[in-house]
Amino acid sequence: MTFEGALSIALPELILSIGALALLALGAFLGNKSTRLIASGAGLVLVVAAAAAVLGPRGAAFHGGFVQDAAAVYSKVVIYLISAVGILLGEPWLKRVKNSRFEYPVLILLAALGMGMMASAGDLISSYIGVELQSLALYVMAAFQRDDSKASEAGLKYFILGALSSGILLYGASLIYGFAGSTRFVDISAAVHAGAGTGVIFGVVFLMCGIAFKASAAPFHMWTPDVYEGAPTPVVAFMTAAPKMAALVLFARVLENGFPGAVKQWSQVLIAIAIISMVWGAFAGLAQKNLKRLWAYSSIANVGYALVGLSTGTQEGVQSMLVFMTLYLIDVTGFFACLTALSRDGRPMEKFEDMAGLMKERPGIALCMTAFALSGLGLPPFSGFWGKVYVFKAAADANLGWLAALGLLSSVVAAFYYLRLIKTMWFDPPAGRTDAAPMDARGVAFAAAAFSFPVVLPALALLDPLSRAAASAFGLN
């Protein structure tokens, strides 16, 4: 393939990188007064990149290190559009707290570039580059409010633990390269086709641990509650959504493309991570009083549900993960849009007691949060129910019915903290008047709530064939 052909396959990433550099230069010249302009430009760049992913050519480029197939296209469209929503939520919120700076949308562009690389990774090197590009941008975003001690603490914790996870990931990659003789997933697959040796298995386990950290799956979740509590709310909305999709797609890339002959070995590790994530996310969430910490544990549990589908090692399992994550991303973005819209006397509302009587003060926002809570616990006919149907059905079809049953039990436990939030909003006496909610956040919240139900029903008719085509790109049965 010619160099020009390779660049055409990587066109979405070129658009993001050139757009990020151009907007960064513009911001350096114009200063923070250009924040609104740069935010609009960054949103446009993300939409154009999503369109380029859909309309552009497909294939492998750069000696197989970069792959543009149906799975990559599906993932990139979801990631880029959710990233654009992150910009829409972040810029007005940061302006309200007098911390608006042009670097915020540029950082989201760079993080989206790294996530696109993760979705298209064809070897261990491009995987690592994508992970680090995404992570470096997120470290800065977590500490974006430099004068806030909690935000600084969140950024420092995330950076230190992220560096540790990167070392684990690199060590696993080096073991795989040493024992398989290549960094390309195609070559690794051929080397371990008849079964993986002990050295390769050790490498795979270390690699999985590094990626599990990026997905905030237990027991590699230790950074998640503290970072979510300390980081700015729109940053948490972004971190809870797009990076998790990228990490889980990278999981599928590495395991399904690189180690199809070792499914029995790596599926056991994934099952263990899924079980710990579901159980810990459900039980630890019961003790939380801060909603951002609560949704951190909720996200840990939801990553566990997604891993249930992925652990089957089948095409149906990968499809279930893609559908589940797409529906989850919309719900969690909508929930944090509600939090960005809520404040009292200029102070963000982040605790359970802040939500007391919200149905009387802000009935529209309260109804949206009720929909997201019901979807989170998996109540039909909300979108969360359909996502769990996909992953639990895939597990049952792969003779992992006991794992699906355990997932259902953890959902029952988690229902207590979702119902507690609903009870607080609907039946507790009001805690005081809330500030006027900004239109941007309200619009995102209402749109996400409408998608959760009833739009999800016709949307599934479109998502099902698209996710099936994306899963088929991994060449599974």
Cα 192 to Cα 84, 176, 182, 406: the distances in Å are 40, 10, 11, 32
CA distance 157 to 142: 10
Mention every residue, 6+ apart, whose C-beta is less than 8 A from residue 269.
204, 205, 208
Residue 64 burial (CB < 10 Å; 0-12/13-18/19+)?
A: middle
Q: Are strands 66-68 and 347-348 parallel, antiparallel or unpaired?
A: unpaired
How remote is the C-alpha of 212 from its chain's centroid? 12
> Per-residue pLDDT for 281 more than 90?
yes
**Rounded Cα distance, 5 and 13, in Å:** 14
Q: Is the peptide bond before 430 cis (omega within 30 degrees of 0)?
A: no
Residue 101 CA to residue 144 CA, distance in Å, equals 9
Asked if pLDDT for residue 477 goes beyond 60, the answer is: no
Report pLDDT digits (tens) over 49-80.
999 999 999 999 998 899 999 999 999 999 99
- Over residues 218-254, the pLDDT tens digits come to 899 889 999 999 999 999 999 999 999 999 999 999 9
User: What is the average pLDDT score of the chain?
Assistant: 92
Q: What DSSP state is assigned to residue 437? A: P
Q: How confident is the model at residue 93 (pLDDT cuts 50, 70, 90)?
A: confident
% of the chain exceeding 70 in pLDDT: 99
Full-model pTM? 0.95
Cα–Cα dist 355/265, whole Å: 46
Question: Is the N-terminal amide bond of 225 cis, ω within 30° of 0?
Answer: no
Each residue's pLDDT tens digit, 430-460: 877 888 778 888 899 999 999 999 999 999 9
pLDDT in tens, 125-182: 999 999 999 999 999 999 988 888 888 888 899 999 999 999 999 999 999 999 998 9
CA distance 221 to 223: 6
Residue type, 314: T
Q: Which of 73, 8, 15 is nearest to 43 (CA)?
A: 15
* Selection from 261, 258, 166, 179 nearest residue 206 by Cα: 166
Largest CA distance in the chain: 67
Instruction: Identify which of 355, 303, 362, 351 has the alpha carbon closest to the alpha carbon of residue 329.
Output: 303
Per-residue DSSP letter, 121: B
Contact criterion met (CB below 8 Å) for 275 and 311: no
Q: What is the mean pLDDT of residues 326-338?
A: 95
Q: CB neighbours (10 Å) of residue 458? A: 9
Residue whose tokens read 């996710």:
467
Non-local CB neighbours of 412 within 8 Å, separated by 6+ positions: none
Over the range 158-183, which residues count as b (16 or more CB within 10 Å of their CB) and which as e?
Answer: bbebbeebbebbbbbbebbbebbebb
Tokens of 200: 């390769």
The domain limits of the chain are 273-477
- Are 68 and 228 a contacting pair, CB within 8 Å? no
Residue 250 near residue 313 (C-beta atoms within 8 A):
no
Between CA 200 and CA 418 the distance in angstroms is 42
Tokens of 438: 């900004």
φ/ψ (deg, to 5) at 68: -115, 100
Strands (E), 166-242: none
